[in-house]
Amino acid sequence: MKHLLTLCLLILCFSQSASADNREREQLKRSIIKIYTTAAAPDFFNPWALLNAQQLSGSGAVIKGQQILTNAHVIANGSFIQVQRHGDAQKFRARVKFVSHDADLALLTVEDKSFFDDTRPLSLGKLPDLQEEVTVYGYPIGGKSLSITRGVLSRVEHQYYAHAESYLMAGQIDAAINPGNSGGPVISDGRIVGVAMQTNHSQGAENLGYFVPPSVISHVLEDAKDGIHQGFPELGAITQSLESPSMKAAAGLTEDQEGALVVRVFENAPAAQALQPGDVLLQVDGFDIAADRTIEWRENQRTNYHYAVDQYHVGDKLPVRISRNGEILDAEITLAATPPSRSLVQGEKFDQRPRYYIYGGVVFVPLNMNLIKRWGNNWHSKAPIEYLYARNQWSSPEQQELVVALKVLPAPVNLGYHDWKNWIIESVNGEQIRDFQQFAQLMESSRDQFVELKDGAGYRMVLDAAAAREQQPFILQTYQIPERHSQGLFSTLAERETTDTELGQVQ
């Protein structure tokens, strides 16, 4: 009898425990959100227009502050966003509260606060150890219900994020991450330890998924507190490995010293406060830098030394140790915001309309990755070779951006140039082009009879200024273009047009 009573108590405890676990799992599922996005991306071949709107879906999770954590690429260029809870049919209107395209993370808020009723905000946990099991929640394509997959954390190191081509820490798991899974939480012990973001489609790769780890998530959440995006700070120095014994000796290091050789320090970059080309970066934030430019961020786990920089915010002071001509120096670098690009070709931007300027039927745009990627997934081989080559050129105070004559809208004023396209120009009437805004100012302020454009090889395009002004309205009307330049290109253009109109009325 006694044994029977004990057995009944054990069964009852087990039943209650299982019931509690089921309630916990169901409560967690209520915090996993499906996101519906209507996205209309700009057409960088016709920068005054939009591409056809697309219907996209992704996943997210409710976190504290009545907000939803998801991927930036889930809501990029979104014009209408809705969210839906697990088990509910109703969709709620949502809007973007904060976005970090570099980290591929976004925070959404819902206008109707009743959406968050019966949802429990999930908290951020610590990154598990390697070979530990994690669970990925989301709404992949192929169905409407919540999908739950399990995988093992197999690798943690710096990876290129596909969304904005940033280089940050990422976790790798062997769980499937399919379209629609993006933005879904990676869960361990009921806490968020990652946000699913991309998969590896390389030849032979199977079930290789990547997620944004807690270190990156917490950085973005801290950055979002004031609602002003500052992003990850930059060091502003280019380094190379010191695995060559000869290079190591030439740099003045002893056999037991390792580090990264500084090969370039950008002008006005934070690194210029302490580093010079030829220095060897020995330590960053107390982490010893190995000859392959990695640090041991966790016991027996290594990643790029930029991990140490990424833990800081704009305005923080980063301690570094360097070797200069064999002398050991300690310094602090006050970190600053990363500029739009250190390359002459600016990185891909989202949620922004393209800049353009039309003169004499010639459409001018800045060269950036948005334009290059307009050639499709195979842009590496299909985009003009001059565009691809320019990606490897660094900007300077004298030349910060490249300007392209994208195409010619045929008209009498541009006769002889109708087949010109994708032409990178360097000067206007002999004056070097610094950036797109300065280029537009040069074109707009010219009082010469002719406007002469020239490229680096010496080829020229000459346009009659009076004919260009006279035919401008006809060209815009013929090709159904609403404005001759992008909105807000700079105020002087609008002011100039108003003044010209007033002068015309007086005359």
State pLDDT tens for residues 360-416.
999 999 999 999 999 999 999 999 999 999 999 999 989 999 999 999 999 999 999
Alpha helices in 35-155 (DSSP H): 72-75
> For the structural domain made of 357-506, what CATH number should be given?
3.20.190.20
Show Cβ contacts of residue 56 under 8 Å, excluding neighbours closer than 6 positions: 36, 37, 38, 39, 74
pLDDT, tens digit (0-9, with 9 covering 90-100), for 303-327:
999 999 999 999 999 999 999 999 9
Structure tokens given for 291: 């000859």
Looking at per-residue confidence, does 407 or 118 come out higher? 407
Interatomic CA distance for residues 73 and 490, integer angstroms: 29
Q: How far apart are CA 100 and CA 197, in angstroms?
A: 13
Contact (CB, 8 A) for 90 and 118: no
Q: What is the pLDDT of residue 23?
A: 67
Taking the C-alpha atoms of residue 61 and residue 34, their distance in angstroms, rounded to an integer, is 9
Residue type, 204: G
133-181 pLDDT tens trace: 999 999 998 778 899 999 999 999 999 999 999 999 999 998 778 888 9
Which one, of 129, 230, 113, 255, lies nearest residue 189 by Cα?
129
The per-residue b/e assignment along 37-64, b for 16 or more CB within 10 angstroms, e otherwise, is bebebbebebbbeeeeeeebbbbbbbbe
Mean pLDDT of 342-369: 96
pLDDT value for 8: 56
Instruction: Give the per-residue pLDDT at 204.
Output: 58
pLDDT digits (tens, 9 = 90+) for 49-79: 999 999 999 999 999 999 999 999 999 999 9
pLDDT the model gives residue 176: 72
Check whether domain 233-337 has CATH 2.30.42.10, yes or no: yes
Contact 92, 83 (CB under 8 A): yes
Cβ neighbour number for residue 6 with a 10 Å cutoff: 10
Distance, in Å, from the CA atom of 189 to the CA atom of 243, rounded to the nearest integer, reads 41
Mean pLDDT, residues 418-430 taken together = 98
Q: What is the pLDDT of residues 225-261, one digit of tens each?
A: 999 999 999 999 999 999 999 999 999 999 899 999 9
Residue of 100, 102, 104, 323 marked active site: 104
Give the right CATH number for 25-232 from 2.40.10.120, 3.40.50.300, 3.40.50.2300, 1.10.8.60: 2.40.10.120
**Which residue ranges make up each domain of the chain?**
25-232, 233-337, 357-506
Distance of alpha carbon 308 from alpha carbon 304, whole angstroms: 9
Summary mean pLDDT of the chain: 91
Query: How sure is the predictor about 9, in pLDDT bands with cuts at 50, 70 and 90?
Result: low
pLDDT at 177: 80
pLDDT of residue 185: 97
Do the domains 357-506 and 25-232 match in fold? no
Question: Is 292 labeled as catalytic in the residue annotation?
Answer: no
Q: Which of 31, 182, 323, 395 is catalytic?
A: 182
**Model pLDDT, residue 215:** 97
Whether 451 and 465 have beta carbons less than 8 Å apart is answered as yes
Is the confidence at residue 7, as pLDDT, over 90?
no
Angle between helix 436-445 and 491-506 (nearest 10): 10
How far lies 161's CA from each of 171, 307, 351, 443, in Å? 11, 15, 18, 38
Q: Is 104 annotated in the active site?
A: yes
Choosing from 73, 101, 158, 219, the catalytic residue is 73
